[in-house]
């Protein structure tokens, strides 16, 4: 009986590791696609003029991104793993188009530096979320409420244009997403279903996990860029 339990635990550990390899693999691919698309777009005046020269185009891209995320999160159970993958890749491409604006606001060197800072921070916090025995659920609930407050403050500041609120929200954003990386990693570890490795459901779980951590990383990067990025 004890040997059976040990084998089950060992299988759980192996499957969990393989699941996270898939999650981090899809997340990394999406980040590469977004980065390359953003860089290529910024280097092509015709594309940047089309996107940023007409406000409705830029807003249309942002709305399209929200729609894709909504579809992926809300309807993923009804779609195939291939469809979920295509939507995820398409989202990372569109995000690259809109994020190309950072190359006009910040120097390339500072963007690269902040990216590596973000990557190191992400790795540390994701590892903490994976290995810690502490239940991060309560912390996660607080962070999600704080995130809603941050969104409201950011929207309000679009009209107030307060420099103090800008910096407060920037530092708050870093703290919130640093915590969410650990929380979401632990949540994915708990939600991963053992025994369905290689199935359609397993593949879709990996895509949703990759999307969650991808969004955490991107937001952490953007808030850190606001703080440490060297403006042109």
Region 110-135: mean pLDDT is 97
Structure tokens at 38: 């953003």
- Whether residue 69 contacts residue 211, with contact meaning beta carbons closer than 8 Å, is answered with yes
Q: Which letter does DSSP use for residue 67 in this model?
A: H
Structure tokens at 43: 């280097």
CA distance 150 to 106: 23
Q: Please, where are the H alpha helices in the chain?
A: 2-42, 45-52, 55-75, 81-99, 102-105, 108-131, 137-160, 163-191, 200-228
Of the pLDDT bands very low, low, confident and very high (cuts 50, 70, 90), residue 55 is: confident
- Pick the residue with more confidence: 128 or 77? 128
CA distance 169 to 188: 27
* Residue extents of the structural domains in the chain: 2-228
Q: What is the pLDDT of residue 223?
A: 97
pLDDT at 41 over 80: yes
Region 157-166: mean pLDDT is 93
- Whether residue 186 contacts residue 132, with contact meaning beta carbons closer than 8 Å, is answered with yes
Whole-model pTM: value is 0.94
């Amino acid at each position: 009986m004890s040997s059976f339990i040990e084998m089950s635990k060992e299988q759980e550990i192996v499957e969990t590791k393989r699941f996270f390899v898939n999650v981090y693999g899809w997340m990394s691919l999406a980040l590469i696609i977004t980065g390359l698309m953003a860089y290529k777009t910024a280097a092509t005046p015709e594309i940047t003029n089309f996107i940023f020269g007409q406000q409705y185009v830029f807003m249309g891209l942002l709305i399209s991104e929200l729609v894709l995320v909504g579809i992926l999160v809300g309807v993923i159970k009804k779609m195939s793993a291939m469809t979920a993958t295509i939507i995820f890749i398409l989202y990372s491409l569109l995000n690259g188009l809109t994020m190309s604006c950072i190359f006009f606001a910040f120097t390339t060197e500072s963007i690269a530096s902040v990216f590596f800072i973000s990557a190191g921070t992400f790795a540390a916090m994701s590892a903490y979320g994976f290995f810690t025995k502490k239940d991060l659920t309560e912390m996660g609930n607080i962070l999600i409420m704080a995130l809603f407050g941050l969104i409201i403050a950011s929207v309000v500041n679009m009209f107030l244009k307060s420099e103090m609120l800008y910096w407060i929200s920037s530092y708050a954003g870093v703290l919130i997403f640093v915590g969410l990386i650990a929380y979401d990693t632990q949540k994915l570890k708990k939600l991963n279903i053992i025994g369905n490795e290689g199935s359609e459901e397993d593949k879709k779980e990996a895509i949703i996990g990759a999307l969650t951590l991808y969004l955490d990383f991107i937001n952490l990067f953007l808030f850190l860029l606001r703080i440490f990025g060297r403006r042109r």
